Amino acid sequence: MSRLAGVAVVIGGLIAGEQYLVSNVPAFEFLKETASLPIPRLYGLVLLVNIIGMSFLMTGLSFKVGSARKAAITKAKKNGDQFAEARFSYPKMYAEGFSVEARVFNCIQRGHQHALETLPIFFALSLIGGVTCPLATVLGGILAIVSRLKWASGYATGEPENRYKHSRMGYHIWSSLFIQLCTATYTILRIMQIV
């Protein structure tokens, strides 16, 4: 936590420094916003929910993987696995073997990894779609966060099929992505003046 606070202070300093340069140094005028950028006021909500909110979720899922790795090593050692460190430690992404500990850890890791695989698409579509459809994009983002959390917690049971069975919300990771795809497509068609 103290390391995170230290990083936050440094980042805060960078932001304050940039704002000072923009406001007080003529050579940095190119960083000022333009009055001609036609984005809706709700676009900030798109950034807050879909980008920042999803980033917090992804950070939480990564912490869950780290905790699961430590727990799996401890449990495997307790159960007599003399290769527990090698089986679960970095740089391995997934644990080798067919033990219960390996299966549970691999499921938790896969829940995080799958989210990482779809994250760039989700971010890009959100940033595009939010320009013309900020409300729909944000609602899709809320659905994405809730459903991804439910999906990953179902996967974390150690039974891969539980990613959908554990909670019906798990299916909506795809619905939320489809919402982003539709809003982005609409924005692109508007830019091209087709609709």
Task: Quote the number of domains for the chain.
Answer: 2
The residue-averaged pLDDT of 83-111 equals: 86
The residue range of the domain holding 26 is 1-32
pLDDT of residue 190: 85
Same domain, 64 and 147: yes
Q: Average model confidence (pLDDT) for the chain?
A: 87
pLDDT computed for residue 31 by the predictor: 60
Provide mean pLDDT across the span 19-44.
73
Residues 26 and 116 in one domain: no
Cα separation, 144 vs 137, in Å, equals 10
The answer on 167 and 145 residing in a single domain is yes
pTM over 0.85: no
Task: Mark whether 28 and 44 lie in a shared domain.
Answer: no
pLDDT tens readout for residues 146-186: 999 999 999 999 888 888 887 788 889 999 999 999 999 99
Q: Are 53 and 146 in contact (CB under 8 A)?
A: no
pLDDT score, position 120? 97
Which run of H or of E encompasses 55?
A: helix 54-78
pLDDT average, residue stretch 50-69: 95
Verify that 54 and 71 share a domain, yes or no: yes
Residues recorded for the chain = 195
Q: Which amino acid is at 77?
A: K
Q: Are the CB atoms for 176 and 136 separated by under 8 Å?
A: no
- CATH code where residue 53 lies: 1.20.120.550
CA–CA gap between residue 154 and residue 170 (Å, rounded): 8
